[in-house]
Every structure is written in C-alpha cells, then in structure tokens.
C-alpha cells in the first residue's frame, strides 16, 4: 500500500509539471495530426485501400504513431529528473523506489491518452466514423493502453542510460517510422515480396489490423491474439531490462 500511495503522490507531481507545460502534449499530438492531414488530403486520393473512407482506414496507424511520439517524452522527463538529482533526494526519503519509475509510467499513460483523444477528435472532424459498440471501443482502449505501457517501459531504458537529453528521446524515431512499413497506410498486398513479408510479421501490422477491425465492428480473428502477444511480450522484456537498468543506476 505504501508503494501505491507513493506512486500516486509522485504521479501527481509529474502531472502538475505537464499541466504547467501543455506544449508537451500539443507537440506529441501535432505530428500525428500533421500526418493525418497529409495522407488524407494530399496522398489519400492516390492510395487504394478497398474501403470507403481513407481517414477511417488510416486512423489506427496514426494512433500508434501518437503513442510512439508521446512516450519519447517519458525518456526525456526521466533523464531530466536524473540529471537534477531528484532521484537521490527521493531515495534519501522513506519513498518506495519502484514508485519513482511507476510515477513516470502512469504519467505517460495519462498524457498519451490525452494526445490520442485529441487525434481522434481531429479525425472525427475529418470524417472518421465507427460502427463499433461499447465492447469494441473498450477493446481498442485496452490494446492502446497495453501498447503504451510496453513502449513506456521501453522508454524508461534510454531515460536511465542515455548520456544526453537528445539521446534519451531519440530511441522513439524507429518506433515512429515502423508503422510506415506495415498495413497502417496501405494494404500489405501492394508491397514487394521482402517488404511485404516484413510488414506482415512485425507487431504494428497486427496491432493496427486489430484496432481497425474493432473500430469497424467486424471480426478480429487471430490478429487480436497476435497483437496481444506482441504487446505483452514487449512489456515483459522492456520491464525486465528497465528494472535492471534502474538497479544499476541507483546501486
């Protein structure tokens, strides 16, 4: 119970910092919204997806990019806390050590979902519509939350080990680019052989296809289990490496 209480207090501290600097959330939502506008209004007319609305097809991939963009700030904020000496101050107090990290993780989850809500709001204005019921929307939220947790714990690793602020947040660049080689923007059937194989067997495709099917109110099939397996696997590995890096850093 002490760890939960400490996490709640430290999360409140982190959220207050973000509320005083709303440009963080604006920045993390701005790039995905720019991609959404670019692909729908500039490139969408030349892309054949076999669906009626390209913004509806595109949105799940943009949501993944939003998460990748948002968690980069977790690494950045964690690095700044380490450099400021606040970790040492907390460790000299009767504060649960894991709660220091969990506060950053919970803050990331809250901030990311604010950015996701902003992106969905823009998509609705652009014509996005969904026939999903409450259960399907809860499934979408669950997948996105699990992915956010996995990528946030991945972000903790460079946040603890980087030697510069730029290095701490640069890890997210491959994550932002990965959806471009997936089914996020175009069907994988249109890709050449080796690229198609990679696109169909990397995690973003399964995650995007699952979210897309849920939002369409259709059958998800095996993609959902593959997506969940990828998210849980990434979360377990990232958490283990993050905690190992944390123990080395505070030893």
Q: What is the pLDDT of residues 121-130, one digit of tens each?
A: 999 999 898 8
Q: Mean pLDDT over residues 182-211, rounded?
A: 91
Q: Do 155 and 72 touch, CB atoms closer than 8 A?
A: yes
Q: Identify the pLDDT of residue 78.
A: 83
| pLDDT for position 94 | 62
Residues 208 and 182 sit within 8 Å (Cβ to Cβ): yes
Residue 1 has pLDDT above 60, yes or no: no
pLDDT at residue 177 greater than cutoff 80 = yes
Chain-centre distance for alpha carbon 48: 27
Per-residue model confidence as pLDDT tens digits over 84-142: 776 667 666 666 667 778 888 888 898 899 889 999 999 999 989 888 889 999 999 99
The pTM score is: 0.89
Mean pLDDT, rounded, of the chain: 84
Contact 105, 70 (CB under 8 A): no
Q: What is the pLDDT of residue 75?
A: 85
Does pLDDT of 176 surpass 90?
A: no
So what's the pLDDT on residue 91?
Answer: 62
Residue 152 has pLDDT above 70, yes or no: yes
Q: What is the pLDDT of residue 6?
A: 67
**pLDDT average, residue stretch 194-206:** 93
- Residue 47 in tokens: 């892309």
pLDDT at 100: 76
- In whole angstroms, what is the distance from residue 23 CA to residue 73 CA? 11
């Amino acid at each position: 119970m002490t760890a939960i209480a400490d996490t709640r207090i430290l999360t409140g501290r982190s959220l207050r910092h973000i509320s005083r600097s709303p440009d963080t959330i604006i920045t993390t939502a701005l790039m995905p919204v720019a991609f959404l506008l670019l692909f729908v209004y500039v490139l969408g007319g030349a892309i054949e997806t076999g669906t009626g609305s390209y913004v509806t097809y595109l949105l799940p991939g943009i949501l993944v990019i939003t998460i990748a963009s948002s968690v980069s700030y977790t690494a950045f904020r964690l690095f700044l806390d380490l450099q400021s000496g606040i970790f040492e101050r907390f460790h000299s107090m009767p504060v649960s050590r894991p709660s220091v990290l969990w506060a950053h993780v919970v803050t990331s989850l809250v901030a990311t979902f604010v950015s996701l809500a902003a992106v969905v709001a823009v998509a609705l204005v652009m014509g996005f519509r969904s026939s999903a019921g409450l259960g399907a929307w809860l499934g979408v939220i669950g997948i996105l939350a699990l992915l956010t947790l996995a990528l946030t714990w991945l972000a903790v690793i460079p946040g603890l080990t980087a030697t510069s602020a730029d290095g701490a947040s640069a890890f997210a660049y491959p994550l932002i680019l990965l959806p471009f080689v997936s089914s996020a923007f175009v069907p994988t059937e249109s890709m050449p052989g080796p690229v198609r194989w990679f696109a169909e067997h990397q995690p973003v495709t399964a995650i995007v296809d699952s979210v897309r099917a849920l939002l369409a109110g259709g059958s998800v099939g095996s993609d959902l289990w593959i997506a969940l397996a990828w998210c849980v696997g990434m979360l377990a590995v990232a958490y283990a490496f993050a905690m190992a890096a944390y123990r080395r850093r505070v030893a």
